[in-house]
Chains A and B, each alone.
Chain A
Amino acid sequence: MRHVISVLVENRPGVLSRISGLFSARGYNIESLSVGETEEDGTARMTIVVEGDDWILEQINKQLNKLIDVIKVTDMTGDSFIDRELLLIKVNSSPTVRSEIVEIVNIFRAKIVDISPKTLTVEVTGSEPKVKAIIGMLKPFGIKEMVRTGKIAIGREFVGKV
Chain B
Amino acid sequence: MSKKGAEIIIDILRCEGVKDLFGIPGGAVIDIFDMLYDADINFYLMRHEQAAAHAADGYARATGKVGVCIATSGPGATNLVTGIATAYMDSIPLVALTGQVATKLIGNDAFQEADTTGITRPITKHNYLVRTADELPRILKEAFYLARTGRPGPVLVDLPKDVQQGETNEKYPDKIELRSYKPTLWGHPGQIKKLANAIKHSKRPVIYAGGGVISSGASEELRELAIKAKIPVTTTLMGLGVFPETHPLSLKMLGMHGTQYANYAIMEADLLIAIGARFDDRVTGKVEEFAPKAKIAHIDIDPSSIRKNVNVDIPVVGDVKNVLSELNKILQPGDTSEWLKQIEQWKRDYPLTYREDGNLKPQYIIEQIYEVTKGKAIITTEVGQNQMWAAQFYKFTKPRTFLSSGGLGTMGYGFPAALGAQVACPDHIVFDVAGDGSFQMNIQELATAVNNNLPVKIAILNNGYLGMVRQWQEMFYNKRYSGVCLAGDYECVEKHTDSSGKQPLMLLNFVKIAEAYGAVGIRVTEKKQVREALEEALAIPKPVVLDFHIEPEENVFPMVPAGASLNQMIGGLA
Contacts and interface: CB of A to CB of B under 8 A. Distances in A.
Contact of B178 (A9, A66, A68): A68
B304 A59 contact: yes
B180 A71 contact: yes
A69 B125 CA distance: 11
Given A18-B121, A21-B121, A68 B126 contact: yes
Contacts, number: 36
A70 B180 contact: yes
A68 B307 contact: no
B373 interface: no
B75 interface: no
Given A68-B178, A68-B180, A13 B129 contact: yes
Counting contact residues on chain A (CB < 8 A from B), the size range is 10 to 19
B121 A14 contact: yes
B303 A65 contact: yes
A21 B178 contact: no
Nearest to B178: A68
Contacts of A58: 307
Interface in A8-64: 9-10, 13-14, 17-18, 21, 25, 55, 58-59, 62-63
Contacts of B121: 14, 17-18, 21
A70 B307 CA distance: 21
Nearest to A62: B304
Contacts of A14: 117-118, 121, 129
Interface in B299-324: 302-304, 307-308
B102 to A, nearest CB: 17
Contacts of B37: none
A158 to B, nearest CB: 28
A59 B309 CA distance: 10
Interface in A90-133: none
Contacts of A13: 129
Contacts of A65: 303-304
Contacts of B117: 14
Given A14-B121, A17-B118, A18-B121, A55 B307 contact: yes
- Greatest chain A CB density within 10 A among B117, B121, B126, B304 is at B304
B476 interface: no
Contacts of A10: 180
A59 B181 contact: no
A70 B304 CA distance: 14
Contacts of B180: 9-10, 68-71
B483 interface: no
Contact of A59 (B125, B129, B308): B308
B348 interface: no
B146 interface: yes
A43 to B, nearest CB: 10
B148 to A, nearest CB: 14
Contacts of A59: 304, 307-308
B329 interface: no
A25 B146 contact: no
Contacts of A66: 302-304
B179 interface: yes
Contacts of B572: none
B488 interface: no
B17 interface: no
A107 B177 CA distance: 52
B342 to A, nearest CB: 34
Contact of B146 (A18, A68, A71): A68
A10 to B, nearest CB: 6
A79 B146 CA distance: 34
Given A68-B180, A71-B180, A21 B308 contact: no
B69 to A, nearest CB: 21
Please indicate which of the listed interface residues B117, B121, B180 has the most CB atoms of chain A within 10 Å of its own CB: B180
A66 to B, nearest CB: 5
B541 interface: no
A29 B147 CA distance: 30
B163 to A, nearest CB: 14
Contacts of A69: 180
Nearest to B307: A58
B351 interface: no
A55 B304 CA distance: 11
Contacts of B304: 59, 62-63, 65-66
A71 B179 CA distance: 7
Nearest to B180: A71
B122 interface: yes
Contact of B122 (A25, A55, A70): A25
30 contacts: A9-B180, A10-B180, A13-B129, A14-B117, A14-B118, A14-B121, A14-B129, A17-B118, A17-B121, A21-B121, A21-B122, A25-B122, A55-B307, A58-B307, A59-B304, A59-B307, A62-B303, A62-B304, A65-B303, A66-B302, A66-B303, A66-B304, A68-B125, A68-B146, A68-B178, A68-B181, A69-B180, A70-B180, A71-B179, A71-B180
Given A55-B307, A68-B125, 10 more contacts: A14-B121, A14-B129, A17-B118, A18-B121, A59-B308, A63-B304, A66-B303, A68-B181, A71-B179, A71-B180
4 nearest CB pairs, A to B = A62-B304, A68-B126, A71-B180, A62-B303
